[in-house]
């Protein structure tokens, strides 16, 4: 079989391209920004100059730089593109219209799917990086309504998480932050007993998903569940077995 090279492409075999904010935070295993999180190769691309503060400020001047990062990933052969912050939802439509591969910028895109799993009166408990910046506009951009079935809690009040993810001090203690994340979710469920599913918005939260699930005994969705799901649609596997 003859295999053809693709013009401009110098590496192969990476299904998912991940656009990264320009941050100073260590990405531990389980984080979207750590390659060992995945059982398949991924390709990363930093969005130069696009800081977390600029994202929270909804800085539209960064759109051209975001597009450039996306095009770089497509040129290197990725089959779909995501990002490393749920608040990147605000750029979902523009990036999806610009690039010629599937685009899923935000963990929040899982909300419609999760919602169909719920019974009447049941709710999604959403733990986000900063609830002060989680608003109706963010959801409406990706075609969602801020419904009563969503209970939102932020991590901005948890000191160690805030220092690592928001203040970007350049270090973190995974055990301490795990305790903060579990505590926040337990508070969320205690305040809203109708919550039957958890969604972790922030790309730095998946390392703690197992501990969260063990604490509250609920299904837990996060950025990595979304990325793994999309990858499974891009790289289908054959089956073998017996009857």
Q: Are 99 and 79 in contact (CB under 8 A)?
A: no
Tens digits of residue pLDDT in 1-10: 898 888 877 8
Which pLDDT does position 222 carry in this prediction?
98
Q: E strand or H helix at 124, and its extent?
A: strand 123-128
pLDDT of amino acid 69: 97
Per-residue b/e over 207-221, b at no fewer than 16 CB within 10 Å? Answer: bbbebbeebbeeebb
Length of the chain: 243
Check: pTM over 0.75? Answer yes or no: yes
- Residue 134 confidence class, pLDDT cut points 50, 70, 90: confident
Q: Quick one: what percent of the chain has pLDDT higher than 90?
A: 85
CA-based Rg of the chain, rounded to a whole angstrom? 18
Domains in the chain: ranges and CATH = 16-106+227-234 (3.40.50.1860), 107-222 (3.40.50.1860)
Does residue 121 contact residue 68 with C-beta atoms inside 8 Å?
Answer: no
Q: Are 92 and 103 a contacting pair, CB within 8 Å? A: yes
Q: What is the pLDDT of residues 221-241, one digit of tens each?
A: 999 999 999 999 999 999 999
């Amino acid at each position: 079989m003859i295999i053809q090279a693709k013009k401009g492409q110098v590496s192969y075999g990476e299904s998912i391209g991940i656009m990264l904010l320009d941050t100073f935070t260590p990405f531990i295993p389980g984080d979207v920004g750590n390659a060992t999180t995945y059982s398949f190769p991924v390709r990363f691309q930093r969005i130069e100059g696009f800081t977390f503060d600029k994202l929270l400020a909804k800085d539209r001047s960064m759109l051209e730089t975001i597009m450039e990062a996306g095009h770089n990933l497509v040129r290197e052969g990725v089959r779909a593109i995501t990002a490393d912050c749920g608040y990147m939802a605000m750029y979902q439509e523009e990036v999806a219209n610009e690039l010629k591969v599937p685009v899923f910028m935000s963990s929040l895109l899982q909300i419609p799917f999760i919602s169909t799993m719920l019974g009447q009166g049941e709710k999604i408990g959403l733990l986000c990086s900063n609830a002060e910046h989680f608003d109706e506009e963010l959801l409406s951009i990706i075609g969602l309504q801020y419904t009563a079935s969503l209970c939102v809690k932020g991590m901005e009040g948890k000191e160690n998480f805030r220092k690592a993810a928001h203040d970007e001090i350049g270090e973190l203690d995974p055990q301490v932050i795990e305790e903060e994340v579990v505590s926040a979710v337990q508070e969320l469920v205690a305040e809203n007993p109708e919550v039957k599913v958890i969604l972790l918005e922030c790309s730095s939260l998946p390392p703690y998903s197992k501990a969260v699930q063990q604490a509250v005994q609920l299904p837990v969705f996060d950025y990595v569940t979304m990325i793994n799901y999309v990858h499974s649609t891009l790289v289908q596997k054959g089956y073998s077995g017996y009857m």
